[in-house]
Amino acid sequence: MILIDGKKTSSDIKSEIAARVAEIKAEGGKIPHLAAILVGSDGASQTYVNAKVKACGECGFESTLVRLDETVSEAELLKVVEEINENPEIDGLIVQLPLPKHISVEKVTNKIKPEKDVDGFTPANVGRMALNWPAYVAATPYGIIELLKRYDIETSGKHCVVIGRSHIVGSPMSILMARNGYPGNATVTLTHSRTKNLEEIARSADILIVALGKPEFVTADMVKPGAVVIDVGIHRIEDSSKKSGFRLIGDVKFDEVAAKASAITPVPGGVGPMTIASLLYNTLLSAEKKVYS
């Protein structure tokens, strides 16, 4: 069984990005610049944004963090987005989710220029991805694709089952795995909470990608021997044996599924670290005008 190490792979990608940024600097080119907007004081969101800012520094990027109060109006937030859209010094813009309930995520997402949408959430980038045109691919799906590629996992002609249909992971993942290319050329079944015979369908998968958001939902009896299992879920549960008082688990019951799989991502240390690496890669593409020239 191969343990797919996202932590090491993301570190490799960040080193590659840092090397390219050093070349750009030596050539007198423009250093990539990522801007992040954080609304409110949610602890998890602050942790995520701080990790992204730190990663920018590690790769030699410039970064800007805009902090807004939770009571900020939708109009005020949209104005900040517009200002960053029009700032030629900034290459990528992310708005950390979730947003307060009085703000429309769709309005904010649609306000971001596709050229700066390094999260890959705007309709323009989703559409370009579906057409297999140059696009900023959403960070988590892109990270999974990169893991499959770097671990030389065969996808052509394989049956890939995706559990979960979110706009952030499941839906784009199903499109990417079906596209003509590598990784891709798979026969894809997209399943979700209302799928009948889900267990039976999961057992038919050569590649099982689980992004349902339910702790340890996938058990060994749902996995075909030798399948590749990608666990996108992350949940914090109480554990008195740990110094922190908790531990992290995924959507897959790791120990029993790992015994049947040919390759599997752990939680933590699997898909999670790849998300930031993918975000940085998209920002580098933006700075070098590789997608929207």
The residues assigned a catalytic role are 52, 96, 119
CA distances from 81 to 46, 66, 107, 114 (A): 19, 10, 11, 12
Residue type, 151: Y
Pairing of strands 235-238, 246-249: antiparallel
Q: How many helices (H) and strands (E) does the chain have?
A: 10, 11
Name beta bridge partners: 63. Answer: 34
287 is written with which tokens? 């700075």
Q: Where are the beta strands (DSSP E) in 79-127?
A: 92-95
d(CA 54, CA 273): 13
Annotate 117-145 with b (16+ C-beta within 10 A) or e (fewer). Answer: bbbbbbebbbebbeeeeebbbbbbbbbbb
Cβ atoms of 4 and 267 within 8 Å: the answer is no
Name beta bridge partners: 207. Answer: 160, 228
